[in-house]
Amino acid sequence: MDSKVPKGPLAAKWTQHKNDINLVNPANKRNIDIIVVGTGLAGGSAAATLAELGYNVKTFCYQDSPRRAHSIAAQGGINAAKNYQGDGDSAYRLFYDTIKGGDYRSREANVYRLAEESANIIDQCVAQGVPFAREYGGLLDNRSFGGVLVSRTFYAKGQTGQQLLLGAYSAMNRQINRGKIQSFNRHEMMDMVLVDGKARGIIARDLVSGKIERHSAHAVVLATGGYGNVFFLSTNAMGSNVMAAWRAHRRGAFFANPCFTQIHPTCIPVSGDHQSKLTLMSESLRNDGRIWVPKRMDDAIAIREGKLKPIQLKEEDRDYYLERRYPAFGNLVPRDVASRAAKERCDAGFGVNKTGEAVYLDFASAIQRYGAEEALTHGIKNPDEKEITRLGKGVIEAKYGNLFQMYEKIVDENPYETPMMIYPAVHYTMGGLWVDYNLQTTIEGCYCAGEANFSDHGANRLGASALMQGLADGYFVLPYTIGDYLSKDIRTGAIPTDLPEFDDAEKTVQDRLDKLMAGSGQNSVDFYHKKLGKIMWDKCGMARNAKDLQDAIDEISALRTDFWANVKIPGKADGMNQELEKAGRVADFLELGELFAKDALTRNESCGGHFREEYQTPEGEALRDDENFKFVSAWEYKGEPKDAVLHKEELKYENIELKTRSYK
């Protein structure tokens, strides 16, 4: 695998590379078409910037508007090495934290570039009018996230993703208004079209009319997000899917590290069988919330049976297990560590809700601390406890009000009065299409940005880094690197859509739709999706072992056969049909899930979000194996997922010494 990382010292690589690569002159850009699939942070920002540069851009999203892409749901913040707090932050530290947080499974050069560009993102977004939180002096405010020792996270209440996405959407709108972006909403990419081995277009389905359409371009950018919905229950949007990436994979793009999945520690627990999705409670809450379960088993049982309330439990009867196990980082350990610790306590029988799968996230001491501080700064002498609590709640509300409200609406409990209940849930996928330094996949002319690619987060992503990566890829990396490729296309002219390659791809799509509609009609799509999700969660979730993974492979393969024979899709394909849309997505999850399990089975080590029970220290910490597994797994499609061929990209660490990750 050639990662095409430029030579030279780490800090100079990106600048040097930008100086070395070819450019396309403005007049020629007008003759070049680019398709961008997905309009979240990565796709939206890439589309806007490419159009601004002069290329003709077509964007595609399955939602009714680009503004609804799931980046909108990111809550907590975006990292940037601005060092506004003067706490010793730098691009190098952000780079170091990200590599370490990713458990030494990401590519050094890509991560350094990300850290370098992070500061530009904040400047760009402020210039666009993104209303980040500010201090009274009018300057930008920061908060801390897990796995780091500085405050480098910028935020807009608990709606940072929304504000950044609306920023990218506004930049897109400016270009739509100029006629430089054509936006195809309620459209889904069904296949990629390759001409002479190069990505030259896509087959899309108009989700309203059901019409199959051909779209050609000189390059195709996939920015279609992650595949967390393979677990059925996740914090992803209902429509989030892997179809575009998987179709590209089937056409030759290698799929990297599919088993690297992030299980986020602070989500609202499952309430019943009807559950359709899970809701995240931002990691920013761990700045102030303390995580605990009862110390004694009888208290845990009493709480589960509703005989005891958490606020009745004395301080000494509580086990603040993260503070106990990881004194240096405490409640702000990285997500994979926090999730496993919660699972460990619940598996040991200390869970606090009916199902025994929940722990407390408690704001009582933060309310007291802030209340006392407020009383002091407002000159209130000898405040009583009530006054302090009132003031403290005010501070918490200003910081996390919308999250607390969201929690109360869902759970019907007031988190200002009683601790929140949380449990880990699937949230993000570090794996994705393999890309080189230029973000190009193994298909020439097919680029991949944001969560959909694998490149920056290794085996575990740090909080507030997804927004950073999406925007860095879209605003600052891809628009440059793609020019180098397109510089060879200035004489090509428009790509016709009547080529035999388009005929073939369209026929493949049509046949697949016909086959889906022809199922015998035993079970709904959700029936299969839920079954797949259960296999994934039970056998490929927070802890994995060889036997379970092998079982998962067999079970998913059998489920896939059953699906194609017996799925039931009502209605017709020639109009809006949401069941048909779901079916196409679940069909691809049924292939990806098997590759996921196979990847996890191949990786005989524990690292980041990938925890193999066979490989752990006596204290239950992950046991990484750098000697044998310091590589990126890049899978080549060969028919059935079981036949996929493994290619390895060896990771070289020239600037960071590999260490056992410790947050103690």
Partner 1 sequence: MKLNLKIWRQKDAKSQGQIVDYPIKGIEGDMSFLEMMDVLNEELINKGDEPVQFDHDCREGICGSCSLQINGEPHGPDRLVTTCQLHMRKFNDGDTIVIEPFRATAFPVITDLIVDRSSFDRIQQAGGYISVNTSGNTVDANAIPINKHDADEAMDAATCIGCGACVAACKNASAMLFTSAKVSQFALLPQGQVEAVDRVQNMVRQMDLEGFGNCTNTGACEVECPKGISLENIARLNREYLSATTKG
- Residue placing its CB nearer to partner 1 in the complex, 195 or 395: 395
Using DSSP, state whether 607 is helix, strand or coil. strand
- Residue placing its CB nearer to partner 1 in the complex, 27 or 127: 127
- Residue placing its CB nearer to partner 1 in the complex, 173 or 368: 173
Residues 6+ apart with CB under 8 A from 152: 79, 80, 81, 82, 83, 85, 89, 94, 142
| One-letter amino acid for residue 405 of the chain | Q
Single residue of 21, 140, 308, 623 touching partner 1 by CB under 8 A: 140
Q: How far is the CB of 35 from partner 1 (least distance, A)?
A: 19
272 is an interface residue for partner 1 by CB under 8 A: yes
User: Contact region for partner 1 (CB under 8 A) — 216-224, 311-319, 402-410, 538-546?
Assistant: 402-410
Using DSSP, state whether 267 is helix, strand or coil. strand
- Residue placing its CB nearer to partner 1 in the complex, 204 or 253: 204
Q: Where are the beta strands (DSSP E) in 83-222?
A: 153-154, 181-184, 187-195, 198-206, 212-216, 219-222
12 is an interface residue for partner 1 by CB under 8 A: no
427 is an interface residue for partner 1 by CB under 8 A: no
Single residue of 15, 25, 275, 660 touching partner 1 by CB under 8 A: 275
Distance CA 362, CA 292 (A): 8
Give the position of tokens 């080189």: 436
Residues 474-493 that bind partner 1 (CB under 8 A): 475-476, 479
Single residue of 78, 81, 122, 468 touching partner 1 by CB under 8 A: 122
Residues 168-187 that bind partner 1 (CB under 8 A): 169-171, 173-174, 176-177, 183, 185
**C-alpha distances in angstroms, 516 versus 557, 571, 579, 606, 639?**
17, 12, 10, 38, 19
Q: How far is the CB of 405 from partner 1 (least distance, A)?
A: 7
* Contact yes or no for 140/153 (Cβ under 8 A): no
- Residue placing its CB nearer to partner 1 in the complex, 42 or 122: 122
560 catalytically annotated? no
- Residue placing its CB nearer to partner 1 in the complex, 165 or 536: 165
Task: Compute the radius of gyration of the chain from its Cα atoms.
Answer: 25
- Residue placing its CB nearer to partner 1 in the complex, 277 or 512: 277
Structure tokens belonging to residue 346:
């619940």
Distance CA 83, CA 139 (A): 13
The enclosing H or E element of 433 equals strand 432-433
Residues 498-527 that bind partner 1 (CB under 8 A): 521, 524, 526
Partners of 446 in the β-ladder: 220
Distance CA 604, CA 628 (A): 9
372 is an interface residue for partner 1 by CB under 8 A: no
| Residue among 185, 206, 202, 204 at smallest CA distance from 194 | 202
- Residue placing its CB nearer to partner 1 in the complex, 141 or 373: 141
162 is an interface residue for partner 1 by CB under 8 A: yes
Residues 186-245 that bind partner 1 (CB under 8 A): 208, 235, 237-239
Q: Which among 335, 340, 544, 560 is annotated as catalytic?
A: 335
Single residue of 17, 29, 67, 318 touching partner 1 by CB under 8 A: 67
- Residue placing its CB nearer to partner 1 in the complex, 3 or 39: 39
Q: How far is the CB of 158 from partner 1 (least distance, A)?
A: 10
Single residue of 98, 163, 465, 469 touching partner 1 by CB under 8 A: 163
Q: How far is the CB of 459 from partner 1 (least distance, A)?
A: 27
Distance CA 230, CA 242 (A): 9
Single residue of 28, 85, 128, 545 touching partner 1 by CB under 8 A: 128
- Residue placing its CB nearer to partner 1 in the complex, 69 or 364: 69
Q: What share of the chain is helix, strand, coil (3-state, %, to 5)?
A: 45, 15, 40
Q: How far is the CB of 363 from partner 1 (least distance, A)?
A: 20
* Contact yes or no for 357/265 (Cβ under 8 A): no
Q: How far is the CB of 45 from partner 1 (least distance, A)?
A: 7
617 is an interface residue for partner 1 by CB under 8 A: no
Residues 6+ apart with CB under 8 A from 523: 566, 567, 568
Torsion of CA 516, 521, 526, 529, to 10 degrees: -60
23 is an interface residue for partner 1 by CB under 8 A: no
86 is an interface residue for partner 1 by CB under 8 A: no
Distance CA 251, CA 59 (A): 21
117 is an interface residue for partner 1 by CB under 8 A: yes
User: Contact region for partner 1 (CB under 8 A) — 363-371, 572-580, 585-593, 600-608?
Assistant: 572-580
159 is an interface residue for partner 1 by CB under 8 A: yes
271 is an interface residue for partner 1 by CB under 8 A: yes
Distance CA 21, CA 630 (A): 30
- Residue placing its CB nearer to partner 1 in the complex, 319 or 581: 581
Residues 6+ apart with CB under 8 A from 552: 535, 536, 539, 540, 593, 594, 597
- Residue placing its CB nearer to partner 1 in the complex, 125 or 651: 125
Q: What angle do CA 437, 2, 485 make, to 5 degrees?
A: 55
Q: How far is the CB of 584 from partner 1 (least distance, A)?
A: 16
Partners of 180 in the β-ladder: none
Q: How far is the CB of 564 from partner 1 (least distance, A)?
A: 18
Single residue of 15, 30, 87, 129 touching partner 1 by CB under 8 A: 129
Identify the DSSP state of 302: H
User: Contact region for partner 1 (CB under 8 A) — 48-56, 142-150, 357-365, 482-490?
Assistant: 48-56
**Count of chain residues binding partner 1 (CB under 8 A):** 81
Structure tokens belonging to residue 196:
């002479």
DSSP string, 491-543: TT-PPPS-SHHHHHHHHHHHHHHHHHHTS---B-HHHHHHHHHHHHHHHHSSS
Single residue of 131, 327, 349, 493 touching partner 1 by CB under 8 A: 131
Q: How far is the CB of 392 from partner 1 (least distance, A)?
A: 20
Identify the DSSP state of 444: B
* Contact yes or no for 351/422 (Cβ under 8 A): no
User: Contact region for partner 1 (CB under 8 A) — 119-127, 461-469, 485-493, 590-598?
Assistant: 119-127
Partners of 33 in the β-ladder: 56
Q: How far is the CB of 49 from partner 1 (least distance, A)?
A: 4
Single residue of 7, 386, 409, 491 touching partner 1 by CB under 8 A: 409
Using DSSP, state whether 130 is helix, strand or coil. coil
| Binding pattern for the stretch 299-338 against partner 1, x by CB under 8 A and - elsewhere | ----------------------------------------
| Residue among 475, 520, 456, 548 at smallest CA distance from 94 | 456
Strand order in the sheet with 446-448: 181-184, 56-60, 33-37, 219-222, 446-448
Query: For the chain, what's the residue count?
Result: 664
447 is an interface residue for partner 1 by CB under 8 A: no
15 is an interface residue for partner 1 by CB under 8 A: no
| One-letter amino acid for residue 623 of the chain | L
124 is an interface residue for partner 1 by CB under 8 A: yes
Beta-carbon count within 10 A of 185 CB: 18
- The residues annotated with a catalytic role in the active site are 335
